[in-house]
Amino acid sequence: MASTNTKQANAVKTLQTIQTEVQGSNRIALSVDCVIFGFDENKLKVLLIRSDLKEYLGKWSLLGDLVGGNEDIHDAAYRILKERTGLDDVYLEQVHTFGTVDRHPAGRVVTVAYCSLINVQHHKLKILDNELHWHDVKSISELAFDHQEIFETCYRWLQKRIQEHPLGFNLLPKKFSLRDLQNLYEAILDTKMDRRNFRKKFFAMDFLIDLDEMEQDVPHRPGKLYKFNFEKYARRKKKWVGIDF
């Protein structure tokens, strides 16, 4: 019953045939690469390490690792984040899989790109191997491997996604002013927005909880502080269609 016609692929394969293939020689190394965004000093940042491969000596690269044979790819992304940064409980979402044959000098490696948003104030980096640190997204160029392409794909993804879902709050501290929020959107989208219209839009969305607190130590009139109502968003999320910027 096993197929002798390769044109028909697994349509006529038995479980046994497939098991042979799955356990056979055409297996592929699979990795996860994380594009980790942070927001600090009103700039959008991305977390990079130095590549120590000869081919890419001195170049910066994303945080990645091979996926274990018995490891969910989503778990692998969490693991990488945890191992490399000490961070836990962060926003993480799959973006795209990159599968060209010669993208890695060590051999065939297909990689799944994940995008992560973390809050730089609440999550100080605990591990600093390979010069792990934050880079301004505006200055990113010539990353190792195909990481430039992966980064750009994830950045565009973020720009689009943040206009449809309120992801941005994952990048802010728990308490923030509307000015902080606007600065974040302006940094990510690389635009300027009208302050009054921006406020209207977010108040209308009704996901902000007024904390009845004020900014401290600002050299001007202090703004009110808010937090994001994650619960309310989660409840509405099912039927969410977009922010409509």
Partner DNA sequence: GCAAAAGTGTTGGAAATACACCCATGT
Partner DNA sequence: ACATGGGTGTATTTCCAACACTTTTGC
Specify the DSSP element, H or E, that contains 46: strand 43-50
By CB under 7 A, tell whether 108 contacts DNA: no
Rounded least distance, CB 20 to a second copy, Å: 9
**Greatest CA separation found in the chain?**
79
Which tokens belong to 176? Answer: 């923030």
Binding region for a second copy (CB under 8 A) out of 38-46, 77-85, 143-151, 222-230: 77-85
Which tokens belong to 238? Answer: 């099912």
Q: Which of a second copy, DNA, none does 53 bind, CB closer than 5 to 8 A by kind?
A: a second copy
Q: Are 188 and 162 in contact (CB under 8 A)?
A: yes
Out of 197, 212, 238, 241, the only residue in the binding site for DNA (CB under 7 A) is 197
- Size of site (CB under 8 A) for a second copy: 59
Out of 79, 132, 148, 223, the only residue in the binding site for DNA (CB under 7 A) is 223
d(CA 150, CA 96): 8
Taken as a whole, the chain contains a residue count of: 245
d(CA 47, CA 142): 15
By CB under 8 A, tell whether 66 contacts a second copy: yes
Binding region for DNA (CB under 7 A) out of 56-64, 77-85, 166-174, 175-183: 175-183
Q: Which residues bind DNA (CB under 7 A)?
A: 177-179, 194-197, 199-201, 204, 214, 218-224, 244
